[in-house]
Chains A and B, each alone.
Chain A
């Protein structure tokens, strides 16, 4: 019997890539609010810039932000595995225990955030120690992701590391390769976190000022780190400049400045939209860097495309239903909260 071949992708590559980048951007927005929000809350609390009630208000949001981060992270991980399984699994296996440790770290962080949320509800204090524990968990996850996904873009490195050690206790030693990338991501989280803090604290002068500080400061620092990271790619820069990604990156920088402009004017709707588009542009630039680093070793366009139209339509229909139901539920929830207030 001729068995079916599994070496194919079941939709046009452009569609899979679009879904990948879109869902990854959504994941980043939620993750940035979570990571940036926790850091900002901890710092503002420690410096006594915020009163306890403000810290509690934010702490109560973090469990929902974690749920959103995890949930929105599933889809891009799925599409990543669809297109780059050989690269991603190989790197994950080489660092197997660290990779698996991500789950434990997120569970600890998640429960710590719930604890902070419930503690704040009871005592009026968010509980800096548990927030700190959550932050350690989140930073661990970010470091593992940077390390593993960076290794995934260097198949030769994964081969060398595996040849020396098969235990799964190998940490990517090419720290210079991903340290700046990781730093850029954390600083980006502070930027987006600052936006959300300003949005949620728009009626409180001090909280809005905090948000603005982190939005501006994070943006400058993230831009610097991103620039240095790009420079560190050395021989890839020329190739990068010849791709549309350079325009996307330029547009992203401009859009982030537009977002800041609207943020200062407290037009959060336009500020949010432009910020989202800015992040999406950077995600596209990041995607291009991945392709350039893999060039000559793997090209996603080499996948045989064998569309599964009816399952794809089922997904798209369910995606629309998901949006409708989400909007309805959120309207019910926030509408009720407004009337209760």
Chain B
């Protein structure tokens, strides 16, 4: 609440993903690629394989152009974007880990210098010195990963740090080691994939076959380590978090499933085109491998980001920037009293700071369609109960009056006509829509919060009574405020649920 809010039409998650996924993809390649280059150079020099040395020199040009420019600058880009979209969390991270980042910077300086010297030194340096610089590059690049891994994993599993505030407790947190080994595996896999892309352009023949097979070996080895570590990583996340995810958070679970399928796709392509028919590896297949690799990394990072909900720093700062330690203060004095930057429109300011970092009005995770056809009282009740909704959202910690102001703001932007008129629906279909808007925010059919079985054998009168007493049925339940047509349709739909049909 100490900062202004960057109110952009693009969702924060999407902005972050665009920069961060690209960066992690390139930066992991930057580490694995360094290892690939120096190990391969050593082998080639030992064997007197000049053709391979020429290939490696070519690969190192591609490597320098991709890693030094796009990799390094998108890394700086992450700094820029997190300061814009999550300034409070960034401030907290910097205050706790400034010496971690400063240490990483020393590794980064050596890494960049070594990469340039390695690239420009092919023709002038002695083989021994050149190989040594190659190893220096790899070691410092990996050390850079070592440090950043400690900070990134801290965000999900701060461990004992929440009690002690000690640098090292947070750094060597529960997911530190599985994540480090997993990411090292990813580095090796990506090195293989990038080398395959360059090798795919080689003239078909024995050299191409052995280079492709060799590079595919890197891909397969890295993939195997990654796959095993993904399970280790999952088990290292506190059981309460994973259990909650399985119950109420479709995004991380879906991301994990997608990443498993993508890994299978990468494995299949590597075996077929890399190991079994290396001469047939064309640019298309190699590019497909790269795309799959990028998609896999995107899915994994999406999993890591989304399973952290409702926090941005687990147990410490919520996704919307509200600080856990300030809970009592927010509840007593409200959000507005803490806001350093205001626009004069309280409803809009509250909406921005409480909701807008994840939701837009009518774009990504849109709230307008979620509240069209409802009223201020219903919206306010939902705002007050965000922590009970599906998706593991942050709680609303402001005052009741502030929830009403958000409801006013949202109500101003939503369509207040009856649902039947907005969507031109009637009967059970109208009831299904009413259920999605009025009930489905918590009670997802088929999920743990599904109450449809309790409707079995209930008459329309029973269900009407149920709707009448909705507000008294439990924490966060809003009163039912739909009109008569909507109510009738909803009851009809609930009856179909009670019969176990039309889900």
Interface residues of A (CB under 8 A from B): 1-11, 19, 63-64, 67, 70-75, 77-79, 81-82, 85-86, 88-90, 92-94, 96-97, 99-100, 102-103, 106-107, 110-111, 114, 158-159, 162-163, 166-168, 308, 310-312, 314-315, 318-319, 321-322, 325-326, 329-330, 332-333, 336-337, 340
Q: Once the chains are docked, how many angstroms separate the CA of A329 from the CA of B114?
A: 7
Question: Given A9-B95, A82-B95, A337-B124, do A332 and B129 touch, yes or no (CB 8 Å)?
Answer: yes
Judging by beta carbons under 8 Å apart, are A71 and B72 in contact?
Answer: yes
- With CB as the reference atom, state the residue of chain A lying closest to B100: A311
Range class of the B interface residue count: 35 or more
- CB of A322 within 8 A of CB of B109, answer yes
Contact A166 B4 (CB under 8 A): yes
Cross-chain contact of B84 among A9, A75, A92, A322 (Cβ < 8 A): A92
Stretch touching chain A among B156-164, B185-193, B400-408: B156-164
Bound CA span A325–B77, Å: 27
Most A C-beta atoms less than 10 A away, residue of B19, B69, B74, B120: B69
Interface segment out of the listed B292-300, B337-345, B389-397, B422-430? B337-345
Q: Is the CB of A308 within 8 A of B167?
A: yes
Within 8 A of A (CB), among B56-111: 65, 68-70, 72-74, 76-77, 79-81, 83-84, 87, 90-92, 94-96, 98-103, 105-110
Interface class of chain B by DSSP: helix
28 residue pairs of the A-B complex, CB under 8 angstroms, read: A10-B99, A63-B116, A67-B112, A67-B116, A71-B109, A72-B109, A78-B102, A85-B87, A85-B90, A86-B3, A89-B83, A93-B3, A93-B84, A99-B84, A103-B73, A103-B76, A103-B80, A107-B70, A158-B4, A163-B342, A166-B4, A167-B8, A322-B106, A326-B110, A333-B120, A333-B133, A336-B121, A337-B124
Residues of the A chain whose Cβ atoms lie less than 8 Å from the Cβ of B112: 67, 71
Beyond A4-B165, A71-B72, A89-B90, whether A315 also contacts B125 by CB under 8 A is no
| Beta-carbon contact of A315 and B94 below 8 Å | no
- A223, chain B: closest CB distance, angstroms: 32
Indicate whether B234 reaches chain A with its CB closer than 8 angstroms.
Answer: no
Q: Specify which of A78, A114, A158 is in contact with B94 (CB 8 Å cutoff).
A: A78
**Residues A114 and B65 in contact in the complex (CB < 8 Å), given A103-B80, A168-B6, A326-B109:** yes
Determine which residue in A2, A162, A340 has the highest number of CB atoms from chain B within 10 A of its CB, and name it: A162
Tell me which residues across on chain B come within 8 A of A86, comparing CB atoms.
2-3, 91, 340
The answer to whether B224 has its CB under 8 Å from any CB of chain A is no
- Provide the residues of chain B in CB contact with A326, threshold 8 Å: 109-110, 113
Report yes or no: A329 in contact with B80, Cβ–Cβ below 8 A: no
Report whether B117 and A163 are in contact in the complex, using a CB–CB cutoff of 8 Å: no
Q: In this assembly, does B7 line the interface, its C-beta being within 8 Å of a C-beta of chain A?
A: yes
B352 interfacial contact with A, CB 8 Å: yes
* A contact patch SS: helix
User: What is the minimal beta-carbon distance from B120 to any residue of chain A, in angstroms?
Assistant: 7
B106 close to A106 (CB less than 8 A): no
Q: List B137-181 residues whose CB lies under 8 Å from chain A.
A: 140, 161-165, 167-168
- Using Cβ atoms and an 8 Å threshold, which residues of chain A touch B99? 10-11, 308, 311-312, 314-315
- Inside 8 A of B105's CB, which chain A residues have their CB? 74-75, 78
Q: Is B325 an interface residue (CB 8 A)?
A: yes
Residue numbers in B under 8 Å from A5 (CB-CB)? 165, 325
Q: When A and B form their complex, which 4 residue pairs have the shortest distance between CB atoms, in order from nearest?
A: A4-B165, A311-B99, A166-B7, A6-B92
Chain A residues near B124: list those with CB within 8 A. 333, 336-337, 340
Q: In the complex the two chains form, is A70's CB within 8 Å of B324's CB?
A: no
Q: A90-B3, A308-B167, A314-B103 are in contact. List 5 more A-B contacts (CB 8 A).
A: A4-B165, A99-B84, A308-B99, A336-B121, A336-B124
Of the candidates A9, A329, A337, the one whose C-beta lies within 8 Å of that of B133 is: A329
* A90 nearest CB across to chain B (Å): 6
- Given contacts A103-B80, A329-B114, A162 and B343 within 8 Å (CB-CB): yes
Q: Are A325 and B108 in contact (CB under 8 A)?
A: no
A107-B73, A329-B133, A336-B125 in contact; A166/B6 too (CB < 8 A)?
A: yes
Determine whether the beta carbon of B168 is less than 8 Å from that of A310.
yes
- Given known A111-B69, A308-B167, A314-B103, contact A336–B116 (CB-CB < 8 A): no
A74 touches B76 (CB 8 A): yes
Q: State the CA gap A326–B84 with chains docked (Å).
A: 34
Say whether B123 faces chain A, with CB atoms less than 8 Å apart.
yes
Q: A92-B83, A99-B80, A336-B129 are in contact. Are A321 and B73 (CB under 8 A)?
A: no
> What is the CB-to-nearest-CB distance from A7 to chain B, in angstroms, rounded to a whole number?
7
Q: Which residues of the partner chain B approach A4 to less than 8 Å between Cβ atoms? A: 96, 161-162, 164-165
Q: What 0/1 pattern do residues 118 to 138 of B give for CB contact below 8 A with A?
A: 001101111001001100100
